[in-house]
């Protein structure tokens, strides 16, 4: 049994979906679960629907939703011979369900509504891809992932109920694999009350890892628009190198510091059962790609990871007491309470500096919580540069004459916080 994950770029239009079908055709005689994201930029488009709905801008809700409808209709018209195909009714019904939710003003929390509204993107894409696969002779069953990946009620970043999820996947998926391919949604989960949850932005990789773990997959493959895992982002650096082998530990380090080729939560379930992860190109499916596994003593070239949308908080005690272990404990408890992602820390006797993902609402609530005991200064619009296995030459090239707000160096690894507009 194998698990494939295809992201939004791989199914952004009809030609892309046909390309995915050609890739899958090479594996159609294997037991294969295919996890699929929302098409193209649909998640961003659905977020616009949500924010307009939250702000009670009904005309904007209609406008943004119509763009999503038009895009999916165009994809279907280019895949199916006529509009008599049953997929048209299926997609229509999916939009009707959403419109019922949007009919009244927002009645629930923003995070809850996010998961109910934005999740529609994955339902649309998987229904279309599944219908097209069956049309071209790839026998496929569409599976609602919300019946399999069971979570708590932490909306937008749900926690997995692993025992219940493992049981559901084994019971529901195993019989389906005997019939042919199984297509399901990434990013989504379901609660015991049958509410939709999501696993965090770009969480489809994690979805595939959950299925891989529960069915004891032979391997898992993520299909990207790059040749594999590279030493740097090709959009920011010229001629990055392909990494042919990567250890689980190194992959976790890279994803933790912001490498976007793999979701940070993906590696642990695979490592726990020693399931290899292949990162391959849907543009050049014959390429070797990158294999992530239990490798020892791998010699790595310098790797550069850029994490955007960062903020630097300088937290200073008002009473002029040292920032000691007790204060650290309270500070991190407050940061955890507001679910703020910490990427780098540094402290002096009187101040604690922390680089975090710049989520203004969460940060403002944190600042309000700390206001009685601390002065908090925030600098936004920053990015975090992480260099692993670097050399003096690489360090000097990245430093240049740039203004560095915070830095930390441990052996051959260095982290730098700088303005987002600094060119590398």
H helix or E strand, kind and range, residue 181: strand 181-185
**Alpha-carbon torsion (338, 339, 341, 344), positive or negative:** positive
For 177-181, what is the mean pLDDT?
Answer: 94
Q: How many CB atoms lie within 10 A of CB 44?
A: 12
Q: What pTM does this model have?
A: 0.89
For residue 116, the Cα-to-chain-centroid distance in whole angstroms is 17
136-175 pLDDT, tens digit each: 999 999 999 999 999 999 999 999 999 999 999 999 999 9
Q: How many CB atoms lie within 10 A of CB 78?
A: 12
| pLDDT exceeds cutoff 80 at 380 | yes
For residue 235, the Cα-to-chain-centroid distance in whole angstroms is 19
Alpha helices in 119-232 (DSSP H): 120-135, 162-177, 204-215
- Rounded to 10 deg, the angle between the 120-135 and 58-79 helix axes is 10
Q: How many CB atoms lie within 10 A of CB 157?
A: 17
98-128 pLDDT, tens digit each: 999 999 888 899 999 999 999 999 999 999 9
What does the alpha-carbon distance between residue 198 and residue 229 come to, in Å, rounded to a whole number? 25
Q: How many CB atoms lie within 10 A of CB 198?
A: 24
pLDDT given for residue 299 in this prediction: 86
pLDDT given for residue 236 in this prediction: 84
228-260 pLDDT, tens digit each: 999 998 888 888 999 999 999 999 888 888 787
b/e sequence 107-120, b meaning 16+ C-beta within 10 Å: eeeeebbbbbbbbb
What is the DSSP-derived secondary structure letter of residue 109?
Answer: -
Domains for the chain: give ranges and CATH numbers. 2-217 (3.40.1160.10), 303-419 (3.30.2130.10)
What are the beta bridge partners of residue 408? 415
3-class state of residue 363 by DSSP: helix
- Rounded to 10 deg, the angle between the 110-118 and 42-54 helix axes is 140
| pLDDT exceeds cutoff 70 at 424 | no
Decide: 226 and 281 in contact? Cβ < 8 Å: yes
* Residue position matching structure tokens 């240049």: 400
What does the alpha-carbon distance between residue 312 and residue 217 come to, in Å, rounded to a whole number? 41
For residue 322, the Cα-to-chain-centroid distance in whole angstroms is 38
């Amino acid at each position: 049994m194998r698990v494939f994950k295809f992201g939004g770029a791989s199914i952004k239009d009809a030609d892309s979906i046909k390309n995915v079908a050609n890739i899958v055709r090479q594996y159609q005689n294997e037991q294969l679960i295919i996890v699929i994201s929302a098409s193209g930029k649909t998640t961003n488009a659905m977020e616009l629907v949500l924010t307009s709905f939250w702000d009670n801008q009904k005309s904007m809700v209609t406008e943004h939703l119509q763009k999503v409808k038009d895009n999916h209709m165009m994809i279907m018209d280019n895949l199916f011979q006529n509009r008599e195909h049953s997929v048209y009714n299926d997609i229509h019904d999916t939009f009707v369900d959403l419109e019922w939710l949007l009919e009244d003003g927002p009645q629930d929390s923003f995070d809850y509504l996010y998961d109910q509204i934005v999740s529609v993107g994955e339902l649309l894409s998987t229904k279309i891809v599944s219908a097209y696969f069956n049309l071209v002779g790839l026998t496929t069953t569409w599976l609602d992932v919300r019946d399999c990946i069971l979570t708590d009620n932490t909306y937008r970043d749900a926690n997995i109920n692993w025992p219940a999820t493992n049981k559901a996947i084994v019971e529901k998926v195993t019989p389906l694999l005997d019939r042919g391919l199984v297509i399901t949604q990434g990013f989504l989960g379901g609660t015991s009350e049958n509410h939709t949850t999501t696993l965090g932005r770009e969480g489809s990789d994690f979805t595939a890892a959950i299925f891989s773990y529960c069915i004891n997959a032979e391997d898992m493959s993520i299909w990207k628009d790059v040749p594999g895992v590279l030493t740097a982002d090709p959009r920011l650096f010229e001629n990055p190198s392909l990494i042919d082998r990567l250890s689980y530990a190194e992959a976790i380090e890279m994803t933790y510091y912001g490498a976007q080729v793999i979701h940070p939560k993906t590696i642990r379930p695979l490592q726990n059962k020693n399931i290899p992860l292949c990162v391959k190109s849907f543009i050049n499916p014959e390429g070797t790609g990158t294999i992530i596994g239990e490798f020892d003593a791998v010699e790595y070239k310098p790797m550069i990871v850029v994490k955007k949308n960062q903020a630097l908080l300088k937290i200073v005690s008002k009473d002029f007491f040292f920032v000691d272990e007790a204060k650290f404990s309270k500070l991190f408890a407050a940061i955890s309470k507001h679910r703020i992602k910490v990427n780098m820390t540094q402290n002096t006797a009187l101040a604690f500096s922390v680089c975090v993902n710049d989520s203004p609402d969460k940060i403002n609530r944190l600042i309000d919580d700390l206001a009685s005991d601390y002065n908090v200064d925030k600098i936004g619009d920053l990015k975090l540069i992480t260099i692993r296995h670097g050399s003096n030459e690489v360090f000097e090239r990245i430093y240049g004459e740039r203004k560095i707000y915070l830095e930390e160096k441990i052996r051959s690894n260095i982290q730098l916080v700088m303005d987002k507009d600094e060119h590398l």
